[in-house]
Amino acid sequence: MKKLIGIFVLMLILAFGSLGLAQNFGVYTGYGYDGIIGGQFYTGDLRISIGITPIAGIGISGSVDYIIGEMPISDEAPINFYYGVGAGAGFAAAAGASIFNIHGHGLGGISYDLPSSNIAIFGEVGLGPQMVMGAGITGFTFGYDVKFGAVFK
């Protein structure tokens, strides 16, 4: 439990320490690498995500993503497609066992800029390899992440 608290405090320090640099921030819900609920901080094409998974124990995860490109889907509507790459780590503890993972991923998503506001809603999918360690297992698997959320610009 002490390790979990230490990791959580370190992630909070990194996240809130970068707030002064952040140009935009967002919130999301989803499933996969980056937890069930979380926050995102953007600086240019760089994005930092921190999430938690409060089910049957607690999980904390984070990733750093580089958005490689963004392009409009339609000239008539403010809908954009974006894609990128990233890497992250996560830690989960439940029922006396703990698991740590490290992952790399490609990501793609669609965002919609709400009219007359500085808010964009998005849906995103990330896929890639991950290394899992702990609870008697160590190995490589293929992981994923699905997110839905809003970015405040």
The CA-atom distances, in angstroms, between 97 and each of 30, 53, 57, 72 are 23, 15, 10, 45
Q: What are phi and psi of 34, to 5 degrees?
A: -100, 25
CB 35 within 8 A of CB 53: yes
- With left for phi above 0 and alpha for psi between -120 and 50, is residue 79 left, alpha or beta? beta
The rounded percent of the chain whose pLDDT value lies above 70 is 85
The model's pLDDT over 58-80, given as tens digits with 9 standing for 90+, comes to 888 999 999 999 999 988 889 99
The model's pLDDT over 127-146, given as tens digits with 9 standing for 90+, comes to 999 999 987 888 999 989 99
* DSSP assigned state of 8: H
* DSSP assigned state of 22: -
1 pLDDT more than 60: no
Q: Which domains does the chain possess?
A: 2-152 (2.40.160)
Question: Quick count: other Cβ atoms within 10 Å of Cβ 62?
Answer: 21
The rounded percent of the chain whose pLDDT value lies above 90 is 50
**How much is the pTM?**
0.81
Tokens 């809130």 — which residue? Answer: 16
